[in-house]
């Protein structure tokens, strides 16, 4: 249902059936360590080029999300995907491995948000039951496409971000996922144990994931972003180009739904980076919106300071790996119950700055809420 121009509410909500993530070694060494499904030993993953490796990551992330949902590729109605390579080549070439209708989407690093918005509207509108949403980026393919040959070993500017080598995919579903079988099984086993064994089992990852999945996450609302260009012309300072777009979307979103920012347990922006995050906080504070400590920028938080990424992570794989790994698990275990996710993108290519164009930004927002799987699990939080 349309709320206002570009803002909508889903009639029933659309469920996240699964999320699957693949990242490189540097990403696993960062702050979200332990939240990814697959970590590559090296960035080429047995392929002859970084572009082919990104394509493989993208393909395997989609396959992984489908498998994790206990589905086959024949169950998927529509694939929505995008990436940063020219003409979406990672997604397009990945898509030829699936017998599935394909929609290529591109809004730079906010593409994952675009996929979730469009995918959930298509399901809620009755046009599909199951869709996949996926995006990827790769440090080395992005670096040599957008900036300089890797061999040049160019020095990076202090406002630069580090393109995340990662692919994230999720399966969106009209029907509420049925985790109950797993839950009951693991729960019975756990309940039957003595205290010591129980603690041991709960401390092991596999049981914990099954046990703690006491919520399902669903998209309930969204605000499609506008293109905002305040005249930033430094392609090494994407945070400055994207922060005004993020502010525009958040302000519009809160206005359209007539609510305050504290309606949300947490706000996650795409990949503004440390400087862009500060800019957004400053812009919003001028509008009386205090993000305070419920706010995380997935780019700024991706890497540790000693990893020398300067402003943090970026790329279409940045928020998609954090969302489908870290954030989704926080929702499913009940630590978060209502969040606003705002992936951000900078709309440039290699040539536009050379042709003296400024860099427009865009940011999409979607709201994720949780639903309890079984009432009794809520007591154990």
Residues that bind a second copy (CB under 8 A): 1-2, 5-6, 8, 48-49, 51-52, 76-78, 82, 84-89, 92-93, 95-96, 98-108, 114, 117-118, 121-122, 124-129, 223-229, 347-352, 355, 357, 360, 362
Q: Judged by CB, which is closer to a second copy: 249, or 301?
A: 249
Please give the Cα distance from 153 to 360 (Å, whole number).
Answer: 28
Kindly report the backbone phi and psi dihedral angles of residue 358, in degrees, each rounded to the nearest multiple of 5, phi listed first: -80, 175
Please give the Cα distance from 282 to 118 (Å, whole number).
Answer: 30
Q: Shortest gap between Cβ of 199 and a second copy (angstroms)? A: 46
Please give the Cα distance from 215 to 331 (Å, whole number).
Answer: 7
243: its two tokens: 């922060």
Do the Cβ atoms of 225 and 245 come closer than 8 Å?
A: yes
Q: Shortest gap between Cβ of 115 and a second copy (angstroms)? A: 10
Q: Shortest gap between Cβ of 52 and a second copy (angstroms)? A: 7
DSSP conformation letters of 146-178: HS--GGG-PPPPTT--EE--EEEEEEEESSPP-
Q: Judged by CB, which is closer to a second copy: 8, or 377?
A: 8
Q: Judged by CB, which is closer to a second copy: 225, or 334?
A: 225
Q: Shortest gap between Cβ of 336 and a second copy (angstroms)? A: 26
Q: Judged by CB, which is closer to a second copy: 23, or 131?
A: 131
Please give the Cα distance from 121 to 78 (Å, whole number).
Answer: 12
Q: Using CB atoms within 10 A of its CB, is residue 343 exposed (0-12), middle (13-18) or buried (19+)?
A: buried
Q: Is the dihedral of CA 40, 46, 50, 54 positive or negative?
A: negative
Q: Judged by CB, which is closer to a second copy: 127, or 282?
A: 127
DSSP 248: H
Q: Shortest gap between Cβ of 108 and a second copy (angstroms)? A: 7
Please give the Cα distance from 249 to 223 (Å, whole number).
Answer: 7
Q: Shortest gap between Cβ of 227 and a second copy (angstroms)? A: 4
Q: Judged by CB, which is closer to a second copy: 23, or 347?
A: 347
Please give the Cα distance from 355 to 92 (Å, whole number).
Answer: 28
Q: Judged by CB, which is closer to a second copy: 4, or 376?
A: 4
Q: Shortest gap between Cβ of 6 and a second copy (angstroms)? A: 3
CB atoms within 10 A of CB 42: 9
Q: Judged by CB, which is closer to a second copy: 39, or 121?
A: 121
DSSP 86: G
Q: Shortest gap between Cβ of 96 and a second copy (angstroms)? A: 4
């Amino acid at each position: 249902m349309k709320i206002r121009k570009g803002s909508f509410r889903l009639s029933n909500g659309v469920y996240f059936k699964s999320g699957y993530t693949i990242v490189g070694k540097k990403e696993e060494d960062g702050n979200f360590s332990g939240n990814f499904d697959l970590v590559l030993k090296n960035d080429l993953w047995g392929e002859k080029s970084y572009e082919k490796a990104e394509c493989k990551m993208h393909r395997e992330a989609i396959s992984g999300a489908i498998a994790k949902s206990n589905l086959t590729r024949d169950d998927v109605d529509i694939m929505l995907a995008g990436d940063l390579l020219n003409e979406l080549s990672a997604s397009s070439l990945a898509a030829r491995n699936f017998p599935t209708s394909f929609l290529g989407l591109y809004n730079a690093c906010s593409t994952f948000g675009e996929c979730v918005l469009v995918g959930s509207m298509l399901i809620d509108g009755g046009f599909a039951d199951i869709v996949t949403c996926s995006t990827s980026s790769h440090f080395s393919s992005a670096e040599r496409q957008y900036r300089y040959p890797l061999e040049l070993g160019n020095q990076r500017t202090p406002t630069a971000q580090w393109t995340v080598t990662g692919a994230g995919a999720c399966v969106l579903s009209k029907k509420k996922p049925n985790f109950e079988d797993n839950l009951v099984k693991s729960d019975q086993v756990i309940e039957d144990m003595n205290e010591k064994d129980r603690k041991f089992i709960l401390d092991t990852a596999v049981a914990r994931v099954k046990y703690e999945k006491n919520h399902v996450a669903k998209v309930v609302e969204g605000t499609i972003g506008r293109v905002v260009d305040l005249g930033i012309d430094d392609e090494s300072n994407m945070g400055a180009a994207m922060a005004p777009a993020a502010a525009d979307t958040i302000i519009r979103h809160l206005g359209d739904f007539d609510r305050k920012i504290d309606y949300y347990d947490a706000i996650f922006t795409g990949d503004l980076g440390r400087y862009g995050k500060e800019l957004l906080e400053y812009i919003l504070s001028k509008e009386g919106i205090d993000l305070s400590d419920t706010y995380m920028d997935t780019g700024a938080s991706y890497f540790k300071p000693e990893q020398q990424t300067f402003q943090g992570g970026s790329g279409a794989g940045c928020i998609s790996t954090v969302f489908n790994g870290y954030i989704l698990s926080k929702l499913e275990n009940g630590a978060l119950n209502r969040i606003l996710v705002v992936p951000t993108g900078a709309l440039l290519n290699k040539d536009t700055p050379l042709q003296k164009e400024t860099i427009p930004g865009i940011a999409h927002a979607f709201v994720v809420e949780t639903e309890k799987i079984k009432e009794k699990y809520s007591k154990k939080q």
